[in-house]
Structure 1
């Protein structure tokens, strides 16, 4: 439960008050250690219990209340500044942490911890110091809510490669922009690592970082997950915010964006253009402030050409692009990454590995690394798991069996070869179907998209329709 690398509770140093409300906005509990109320006013703090939040604080409403917003979004709101006016008209600015309270997967209220920003010095004993042990029960409200943080920074991108170092500099230049960023590259090259680092380097670092792999969930569920649902929109549906609402003020990382169905891409485009999201079955729209970071294993232009990405969405998502460098093009990083992973697994496995043998190092330097950095890490982890506690060198026999699995497919007798013509025919048919679907059945447009003559496309369509 962290904001960046700082615990979000201890970051406030002390608190002046705690308030709990239910979903109707009624105050269930309120303690003010340094009351916002006028000290000369004869109000008993207990008399606010049972009253509406807007009754006690006239300038607070559904639109500006962090307590209400935390319930609507179903997520914590960290360190928001808010002006609070008491019933005598006195205004004090507070810094708040507002958390939704859930029971049986339903939001039943919210709790807010506040710090008065108006006081320069606090009298001894007039505030409550933030002891994390005292607030462990807050952490059990809904642990899933607190996983929506970016865990890596630019310092976690370990490299001596000039191109990758230039990419880190590029991130520093674009970090505070709201423009979408498209990350592309082979599997294991660190797309998610860069997405985390971009978010944590930005002025959105204290806000949510939500990730979603678009290929990991069925199409019919992805829409409701992204945009949210309203009660009754389908059987069993409740009022639930989508990922855009959950990422309010922060970043939404959509991995394998090219796996998103075309019909959903049009809805995503509208959100990016207008800044409004509409839940399934809802008549109203909600404004959202979210930076979208997307990723694919292909260049976004190639995704568009083969019909995996709408042309208009391609232009919107790829305002800023970053190509991940494969490990085979970063040989200078192998030694650095080896040292890093060996130190990591020495600590977790209680081993004392100091180095790799010359034979292993030569293998690493000459390997093509189809799985990139992820493959290197898994190979080191495997070797260190099977190495004895008395050993301090990774030898070839530690990685031999796993290295054989990573060898070229044509060296593995178990791999079956499919005729090239069959593969090409299947790919061609799939691309033609995608192009025709993407252009709404317009043969001329589909032919231009495929960069073939219209008559050629018609002939191919007749061929595949007759099969």
Structure 2
């Protein structure tokens, strides 16, 4: 009798706890030691646009997907037994909807044994979207370090170096291939420095003939040559601020020598003038090739290189930081959704594979053009598939070869004269086949394979265990 009373009281308490947890205005998600959801309150359902049956008793990684090179804070607390406080996380539900939350996550420990983990989440999805939209509304965008997309170690190292460079007035040389975002970093450095309230003046040295660029840089005096007028140059316009000289290796050696003098002496003279003028300008120069090659081929003076490269910033090409591709693709999709009044959610798994396999000679700029070109072909579709990719991209030889391989896979899974396999079985075999292929290519190095596949190491390890993939 006492046991029945105790059981009744326990059930009543559980209902009360459930009621309280459902009524509070924060999301609560609890998983057990295997990573399966055992508690999921109403606020969490609202935040993630999910139904209880879609999540309860299911493994977290079977329901949600997490950003490139990202991880689940909930699983991190579960696997490492550590608390995580005020961590921002962006992830996607089973319908591809983007969710951004601020999480406090804790392991659940009973008698010294970890039996699960709990996450307390605040929804900031709308706030993040508003920030993004405000960025797109600025017609005269001033880039800052917050504008730089990418979470890879390589790009984060460049950001850290650039942030340190904001503290001084030393000259900077930014080195990177075309399309890597050199001007983005230059603007970010200027806007993070004590010169941010002064002008940032930019000039592409390759865009003007030698006969004009000297006058543009240093200015002219009336009568200096036929038709000359009193005109300040870029150095005067940038006084107190920053002068960005793009593609410095396109400037002729004679003008490079004059530029070196200005940097050293902090004075210059207008064309046709006899008076030196003082100037306070920070120089940021960019170059799209290896400076040593430019020096050896006479395109860059050695003395100017040493003067400019007091701080050298190397921006890695996109092919060396492919784990940033997912973040970049989502950013560009959001950007053109806003500009084109569309509602594209993501890209298909086949397109993801192509984007990760491609070497991107045009870097981030080329990636943006691919996404923009593809979205111009969409109508009401929410997923960008292979058929909408620009024809010149689809016709790359490497993709034609991959398409042939895919046909072989189709023949293996759906053979002529036999019944079509259930979709779930087909997807399992296709995923297993592709994961094995990626792991074999990287000699079963899970970290490298996960990077190439565009998923976290944690996610790949889960799938290896799930599909019982072993090194053969």
TM-score (normalised: structure 1): 0.54
Alignment check: 8 A CA contact 1:150 1:200 kept: no
How far did residue 405 of structure 1 move?
A: 6.5
Give the equivalent residue in structure 2 for 1:232: 223
- Residues 176-227 of structure 1 show CA distances to partners (whole Å, capped at 9, x for unaligned) of 3111100111111010110011100101011100111100000100000001
Give secondary structure in 2 for the equivalent of 1:338.
Answer: helix
Alpha carbons of 1:372 and 1:405: their partners in 2 closer, same or farther (altered >3 Å)? farther
Q: Distance in 1 between matches of 2:141 and 2:303?
A: 29
Give the equivalent residue in structure 2 for 1:282: 273
Q: Distance in 2 between matches of 1:316 and 1:209?
A: 20
Give the equivalent residue in structure 2 for 1:187: 178
Give 1:296's match in structure 2, choosing from 287, 312, 316. 287
Give 1:378's match in structure 2, choosing from 369, 383, 405. 369
Give the equivalent residue in structure 2 for 1:270: 261
Give secondary structure in 1 for the equivalent of 2:292.
Answer: helix
Give the equivalent residue in structure 2 for 1:436: none
Alignment check: 8 A CA contact 1:355 1:394 kept: yes
Give 2:193's match in structure 1, choosing from 175, 199, 202. 202
How far did residue 296 of structure 1 move?
A: 0.8
- Residues 254-287 of structure 1 show CA distances to partners (whole Å, capped at 9, x for unaligned) of 0110000011011000000000010000000110
> Does residue 314 in structure 1 map to residue 312 in structure 2?
no
Q: Distance in 2 between matches of 1:233 and 1:251?
A: 27
Give the aligned CA root-mean-square deviation in angstroms.
2.0
- Residues 130-187 of structure 1 show CA distances to partners (whole Å, capped at 9, x for unaligned) of xxxxxxxxxxxxxxxxx9x871000011111112111111122120311110011111
Alignment check: 8 A CA contact 1:244 1:288 kept: yes
Give the equivalent residue in structure 1 for 2:145: 154
How far did residue 243 of structure 1 move?
A: 0.4
Give the equivalent residue in structure 1 for 2:234: 243
> Does residue 395 in structure 1 map to residue 403 in structure 2?
no
> Does residue 170 in structure 1 map to residue 161 in structure 2?
yes
Alpha carbons of 1:343 and 1:288: their partners in 2 closer, same or farther (altered >3 Å)? same
**Runs of 4+ off more than 4 Å:** 404-408
- Residues 27-73 of structure 1 show CA distances to partners (whole Å, capped at 9, x for unaligned) of xxxxxxxxxxxxxxxxxxxxxxxxxxxxxxxxxxxxxxxxxxxxxxx
Structure 1: tracts of 5 or more residues without a match: 1-146, 412-467
Q: Distance in 2 between matches of 1:164 and 1:354?
A: 25
Q: How does 1:12-411 map to 2 (within 5 A)?
A: 151-388=142-379, 390-404=380-394
Residue range with higher mean Cα deviation, 149-158 or 181-190: 149-158
Q: Distance in 1 between matches of 2:237 and 2:189?
A: 19
Residue range with higher mean Cα deviation, 395-404 or 335-344: 395-404
Alignment check: 8 A CA contact 1:182 1:300 kept: no
Give secondary structure in 1 for the equivalent of 2:245.
Answer: strand
TM-score (normalised: structure 2): 0.54
How far did residue 301 of structure 1 move?
A: 2.5
Q: Distance in 2 between matches of 1:266 and 1:407?
A: 46
Aligned pairs, number = 263
Alignment check: 8 A CA contact 2:373 2:390 kept: no
